């Protein structure tokens, strides 16, 4: 463990691995913050099954966040530190149930603190559904790569791939998928692979690459992660869960977001076509819900590079306000 990370761990009033019962299953969560009275931010990772960049194993690695908040990191059941085989009951609502159980557990441990959700991609579904179901439990929601509807199969994806440098043979396969109306795991994985390779939908040019190597080295040095946890963070049963992906491809959050009663900030990458930035921008402008705020990250796709991460954290700080009650009183 490097000196900077060790100093971060030692300087926090809150820095521990806890076990909470979520959805009837005991699961590991890390809690970390310089001040115990700071607002709590619960990170809901994407994938499903991809606990990056923030996970149970990253305690001490995000001082920019833990200086302002108590950061709660949860590897969702089935991956990372909470690795296990997924059963037939793996579905969106089960993970929403677990998210709400986590909010309740955090509120018990920090009864005087605000509790906020930060959801990325698939995590934005959990954040939206949890806040819509029990708005009194959540103070604010921030998302990056907000899912709305037609995840991965929207017109923008098909049009961008048609314009791309994909070989003609693959474009014929693309047209066959579009004509068939297939919305299954196999077709979704093919489209996702093409979007990564032939467009900027996932990763934009010039926005700085996410430092994956540094994250992996940090996980290897983590006091909370084993090598098996690291393997399960990148390879797990989520990629084979046909029921869950069928629900993902069919999900439509239009009603939940249009009627959202919790202050809700959506940050989108400029080149994101997976969770279409064009569609989200228009939806927020047209729905007229004053609780919805929108910000766009230049030179960022569905996976934020360094520029996208910096803008996300800066906008989140403005949106959530002062980091402690003492800071609030001084305003």
Whether 299 is covered by a domain: the verdict is: yes
- DSSP of 291-328, one letter per residue? TEEEEEETT--SS--HHHHHHHHHHHHHHH--SSHHHH
pLDDT confidence bin for 328, thresholds 50/70/90: low
Q: Is residue 50 part of a domain?
A: yes
109-123 pLDDT per residue, tens: 999 999 999 999 999
Q: Is 26 helix (H, G, I), strand (E, B) or coil?
A: strand
Q: Is the residue at 330 inside a domain?
A: no
> How buried is 85 (Cβ within 10 angstroms: 0-12 exposed, 13-18 middle, 19+ buried)?
exposed
Share above pLDDT 70 across residues of the chain, in percent, rounded to a whole number: 98
Beta carbons of 147 and 72 less than 8 angstroms apart: no
pLDDT of residue 207: 77
3-class DSSP state of 144: strand
Report if residue 314 sits inside a domain. Answer: yes
pLDDT for 4? 87
The separation between CA 54 and the C-alpha centre of its own chain, rounded to angstroms, equals 9
In a domain, 202, yes or no: no
CATH number of the CATH domain containing 279: 3.40.50.1820
Cα 185 from Cα 177, distance rounded (Å): 12
Nearest to 153 by CA among 171, 173, 178, 176: 178
205: pLDDT confidence band, cut at 50, 70 and 90? Answer: confident
Q: Is residue 177 part of a domain?
A: no
Contact (CB, 8 A) for 56 and 22: no
Whole-angstrom distance, CA of residue 211 vs CA of residue 208 = 9
pLDDT at 133: 98
Give the tens place of pLDDT for each residue, 47-62.
999 998 999 999 999 9
Q: Given pLDDT bands bounded at 50, 70 and 90, which one contains residue 106?
A: very high
Boundaries of domain holding 286: 3-151+208-238+250-320
pLDDT tens, residue by residue, 219-230: 999 999 999 999
pTM of the predicted protein model: 0.95
Residue 192 located in a structural domain: no
Q: Looking at residue 215, what DSSP letter applies?
A: H
What's the total number of domains in the chain? 1
Average pLDDT over residues 133-148: 98
Mean pLDDT of 143-148: 98
Q: Is the pLDDT of residue 324 over 90?
A: no
CB 97 within 8 A of CB 23: yes
Report residue 57 as tokens. Answer: 């194993």
Q: For the residues of 65-76, what is the DSSP string, one character each?
A: HHTTSEEEEE--
pLDDT tens, residue by residue, 238-280: 988 999 999 999 999 999 999 999 999 999 999 999 999 999 9
- Residues 143 and 152: their CA atoms lie apart, in Å, by 18
Answer yes or no: is 325 within a domain.
Answer: no
User: Sorting pLDDT into bands at 50, 70 and 90, what band is 326?
Assistant: low
Widest Cα–Cα separation across the chain: 64
Q: Is the dihedral of CA 21, 22, 25, 30 positive or negative?
A: negative
Amino acid 182: pLDDT = 85
The pLDDT, as a whole number, for residue 252 is 97
Closest C-alpha among 163, 165, 187, 192 to residue 177 = 187
102 pLDDT higher than 90: yes
């Amino acid at each position: 463990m490097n000196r900077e990370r060790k100093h971060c761990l030692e300087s926090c009033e809150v820095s521990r691995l806890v076990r909470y019962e979520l959805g009837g299953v005991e699961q590991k969560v890390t809690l970390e913050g310089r001040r115990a009275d700071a607002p709590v931010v619960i990170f809901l990772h994407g994938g499903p099954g991809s606990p990056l960049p923030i996970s149970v194993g990253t305690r001490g690695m995000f001082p920019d966040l833990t200086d302002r908040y108590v950061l709660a990191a949860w590897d969702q059941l089935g991956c990372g530190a909470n690795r296990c085989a997924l059963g037939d009951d793996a579905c969106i609502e089960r993970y929403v149930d677990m998210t709400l159980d986590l909010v309740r557990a955090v509120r018990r441990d920090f009864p005087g603190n605000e509790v906020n959700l930060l959801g990325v991609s698939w995590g934005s579904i959990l954040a939206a559904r949890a806040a819509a179901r029990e708005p009194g439990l959540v103070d604010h929601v921030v998302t990056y790569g907000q899912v709305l509807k037609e995840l991965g199969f929207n017109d923008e994806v098909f049009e961008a791939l048609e314009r791309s440098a994909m070989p003609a043979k693959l474009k014929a396969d693309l047209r066959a998928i579009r004509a068939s109306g297939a919305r299954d795991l196999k077709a979704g994985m093919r489209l996702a692979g093409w979007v990564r390779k032939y467009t900027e939908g996932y990763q934009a040019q010039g926005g700085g690459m996410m430092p994956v190597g540094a994250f992996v080295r940090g996980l290897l040095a983590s006091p909370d992660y084993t090598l098996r946890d690291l393997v399960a963070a990148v390879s797990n049963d989520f990629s084979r869960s046909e029921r869950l992906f069928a629900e993902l491809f069919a999900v439509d959050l239009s009603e939940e977001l249009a009627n959202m009663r919790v202050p809700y900030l959506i940050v989108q990458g400029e080149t994101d076509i997976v969770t279409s930035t064009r569609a989200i921008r228009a939806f927020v402008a047209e729905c007229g819900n004053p609780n919805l705020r929108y910000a766009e990250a230049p030179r960022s796709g569905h996976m934020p590079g360094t520029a996208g991460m910096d803008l996300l954290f800066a906008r989140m700080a403005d949106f959530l306000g002062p980091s402690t009650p003492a800071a609030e009183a001084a305003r």
